Structure 1
Amino acid sequence: MTSPTQVAGFERRIGPVQATAINMTQMCGIGPFVTIPAMVATMQGPQAMFGWVVGAIIALADGLIWAELGAAMPGAGGTYLYLREAFQYRTGRLMPFLFAWSAVLFIPLIMSTGVIGLISYLGYLVPGVVDGSGDTTLLGHVIGIAVVVLVVFALYRKIGEIGKLTTVLFGVMLFSVLAVVLAAFTHFNAGQAFGFTQGAFGGGGAFWSGLGAGLIIAIYDYLGYNTTAYLGAEIRDPGRNLPRSIVYSVLGIMALYFLLQVGVLGAVPWAEIKDSTSVASLVLERTWGSTTARVLTVAIVVTAFGSIFAGLLGGSRVPYEAARDKLFLPWFGRLHPRLNFPTVGLLTMGVITAAGSLFSLTDVINMALAVLVVVQSLAQAAAIVVLRRRQPELKRPYKQWLYPVPTIIAVAGWVYIFVSATALSMWLTLGWIVLGVLAFLVWARAERTWPFGEKEIQEAFVQ
């Protein structure tokens, strides 16, 4: 029997501060620094600031789903565990297989956006990294791949050391965001910041017409509040610390994003913001001068590094749990013999992250989110309902507040986001899921399990 401090080879070494820091470092990263221009352009004016608020409502509602499931089933892999437990009664191992199949793709794709953003800000410091239109050059792509290699190297260590490093990166992230906010508010023009375009909030106005595309951007920037759920086997007192890390990180990042967006709009006209490739550096240059802007841009680059670091840390644990269940390639189920982390999962996701960094930011965001909505977010919302009915005796240290209201809000938000994605992204998602179902059928036939054999019902977390 495993001890309270060790689960399946992992060690429970991550405390409450480190857990919240991991989430917030992954959530913030480079996201708002590269997507504020896109949000302003999408909503055609300062009304874009409210896009972050609507996104936060969806993120918090979804976070409360993660909080209940993660506290009840604190193991490595997060969603994989929840879908395995919830859907085994009707569809055997299909749903957890589809999640593991898709997570190996969409988690590193989301991390690759951090690489793309890092390179765009590095272009402010280093000539030749981006061209005149803001597109990444060959040199920029080479540097991006080198950054991924460095992240993987930094993660090649024990979880206790990683927790300390993440806290440092969190500090740099917080410093970067607050520095830009402070710079913006020292030269703040309220009339400019709140000069909403005429008719923006009326029927068919700019806010409503741009809300769907704006929410894709906003929810992308909030992603990461669930990172600690993937690390459930490595968190101390997960029934208490895991839900708090999720709620605190969503509320904290919402406040930071709103202040950042309002401050930027008050410092630079929105017509200039929407065309900027490094808006934070632009704000710093306008307010505190080019020297300070260059120094703080370095901190923003480090912040982007921290986001990639935290994302690959959590994501690498997903295929590990699936492999231990003999539902994925067995190589993914191996831990480093001395450092106790899943080596193959980390290296594989590192390779996909590097490949994803070669595409454009908007294409990667649309592809990653479309897959995530179907195989994770909507499926997990169904899982919380199924588990309440199927496993009422499951110990739940935290129960979702006002259940099922947050779950309903989350489902409505995710459906709206999915139908707002590009048609190509939706078709690619459906194609990927079909391929996943076919791969599952091949595996199920070989293993003689459902639908070609008996269902294996194992309520692993019911005591």
Structure 2
Amino acid sequence: MSGTPPPPSGGFVRRIGLFQATAINMSQMCGIGPFVTIPLMVAAFGGPQAVIGFLAGAVLALADGLIWAELGASLPGSGGSYVYLKQAFQYRTGRLMPFLFVWTAMLFIPLIMSTGVVGFVQYLGYLVPDMGQGVGDAIGLCVVALVVLLLWRGIDHIARITAAMWVVMIASVALVILAAATHFRPELAFAYPAEAFEFTSGTFWVGFAAGLTIGIYDYLGYNTTAYMGAEIKDPGRTLPRSIVLSILGIMAIYLLLQIGTLGVIDWHRMTDPHDIASTSVASAVMEETWGKGAASVVTVLILVTAFASVFTGLLGGSRVPYDAARDRVFFGPYAKLHPVHRFPLFGLATMGVVTAIGFLIGRHTDLATLIQLLTTVMVIVQALAQILAASTLRRRQPSLRRPYTMWLYPLPSIVALTGWLVIYGYADRNSPGRHPIEWSLAWLSLGCVAFLLWSRRERVWPFGSREVTEGLPDASAVSEEQAAAS
């Protein structure tokens, strides 16, 4: 009816360009994150020097993003890290690393999305202050269901929805920044405590590690389109650009938002659990500057922004198990695509269910601790393994087509490695009594046991021979497909 050619029968369709790819990344990055984590960051640092956490998070995100850019441009398949780890580690450990990645990703991706739903309900509480716990839980579950329903369609329709949500996201952030600028007070924004910059103090570095964890959580999403590599137009150029542009854009937004907020709201209010500034700081800024009516309007926009972040996160995350299942490294049903709209049925459904469960858990736990747990689970199998994968592929597959190569290699890998190790090493100290390191190791160990049981049934390494295949199976067809599309 619309004149759009029907989707091919074989797999995904490359329909996402640079603007839409950048919008998808930025919508995921700048969801509810900064609106709920500014108070957490202030509490971690003990003052307005919390801006250090956002700067440190930006440096780590950019260094790690350049790794994603090289891998994504070279291996633009659906599943992101799954594809990269499969190629890099197949020589010695067979399918172990991609299996473990999918094992952990099916948990940490939807749980990260659940924090967005928690934030959604948290800001909704500003508009409905008498909302009870049960009502809030029901609303959050309805939000998850609506996200899944909207994703149950073709990627071309989703791209248009995402672009519209991106505009709303920019509007909500811009209004808060503008309102803060009109009533900015430097004596508040730069009222540093006496011990704020005692770099020789152990307390500072504990706070720095907590702030770095919160900071990288706020930037997570710069890799969303890498999970959708099989649906990106001209991925060798579009993927690296979308990653770098989204990180730089969000960094500028976060700095303006953080400094502007601190210039309107006394940072002590953000650490008071009974003050609205600790739960809905953007709404507090708007109420302080332009009044209650403006605060309500912007709160609605923030709710749309939060919804958009969950939407784009599940959009990319649902693609993760597809390639794994198609390659017999995950359960077979996850390789099934919708017969008309060509999206992974079971990946989307499963992550929707886990997101709902994570939301209910997050509603009854501390958000900062939940962020710490999720980040720690992600570090070993994705972040650290992927740094090693980039170097391994350069050595093992020197002839692999690389439309983009990492700038200043190996410096970004070293910076990213250092940042992730700091986050992991300080995890237990920043979450006393919750043992995130132990939980991450336990989940990883359980994944290894599951892999042994699965590999024995499938008769693959270590119960069979290793299968080595270099590059994507359809890599040669990418350039031909782009030529035909243009």
TM range (shorter): over 0.9
In structure 1, the residue matched to 2:302 is 300
Structure 2 partner of 1:189: 185
Counterpart secondary structure, 1:10? coil
How high is the sequence identity, in percent, across the aligned residues?
Answer: 59
User: Which whole-Å CA distance do the structure 1 matches of 2:115 and 2:131 have between them?
Assistant: 16
> How far does the alpha carbon of each residue in 1:270-299 deviate from its partner, in whole angstroms, 9 at most, with x for none?
101233110000000000000110111000
Q: Choose from 196, 200, 217 the match for 1:200.
A: 196
Deviation at 1:127, TM superposition (A): 3.2
Note if contact 1:64-1:400 (Cα within 8 Å) is conserved in structure 2.
yes
Aligned partner letter, 2:427 = A
**Which residue of 87, 90, 93 corresponds with 2:92?**
90
C-alpha separation in 1, matches of 2:192 and 2:68? 35
Map of 2:324 onto structure 1: 322
* 2:173 paired residue number: 177
The amino acid across from 1:383 in the alignment is: A
> What does residue 418 of structure 2 align with?
412
Q: Is the Cα–Cα contact under 8 Å of residues 370 and 429 in structure 1 kept in the other structure? A: yes
Q: Distance in 2 between matches of 1:213 and 1:433?
A: 23
Q: Which residue of 1 aligns with 2:148?
A: 152
- Which residue number corresponds to residue 134 of structure 1? none
How many residue pairs get aligned? The number is 454
1:426 counterpart SS class: helix
CA contact (8 A) 2:206 2:426 kept: no
Quote the RMSD (CA, aligned, Å): 1.5
What pairs with 1:206-355 in structure 2 (closer than 5 Å)? Answer: 207-275=204-272, 276-355=278-357
Amino acid at match of 1:372: M
2:480 equivalent in structure 1: none
Query: Is contact 1:48–1:207 with CA below 8 Å preserved after alignment?
Result: no
Please name the residue that 1:386 is paired with.
392
Moved over 4 A (4+): 5-8
Shift of 1:8: 4.6
Whole-angstrom distance in 1 between the partners of 2:391 and 2:192:
41
CA-CA distance at 1:362 after TM superposition: 2.3
**Is the contact made by 1:43 and 1:206 (CA closer than 8 Å) also made in structure 2?**
no
Deviation at 1:197?
1.1
Cα distance in 2 for residues equivalent to 1:178 and 1:303: 12
Q: Name the SS of the counterpart of 2:77 in structure 1.
A: coil
TM (norm. structure 1) is 0.96
Distance 1:205 1:256, change over 3 A: farther
- Tell me the distance in 2 between the aligned counterparts of 1:53 and 1:363: 21
- The letter of the residue matching 2:156 is G
**Rounded Cα–Cα distance in structure 2 between residues aligned with 1:206 and 1:302:** 37
Which sections of structure 2, spanning at least 5 residues, go unmatched?
A: 273-277, 429-433, 477-486
Q: How far apart are the structure 2 equivalents of 1:170 and 1:6?
A: 28
The CA distance in 1 between the partners of 2:253 and 2:201, in whole Å, is: 29
Matches within 5 A, 1:337-376: 337-358=339-360, 359=362, 360=365, 361-376=367-382
- Letter paired with 2:250: I
Q: Are the counterparts in 2 of residues 184 and 267 from structure 1 also a CA contact under 8 Å?
A: yes
Residue 17 of structure 1: aligned partner: 19
Q: What secondary structure sits across from 1:221 in the alignment? A: helix
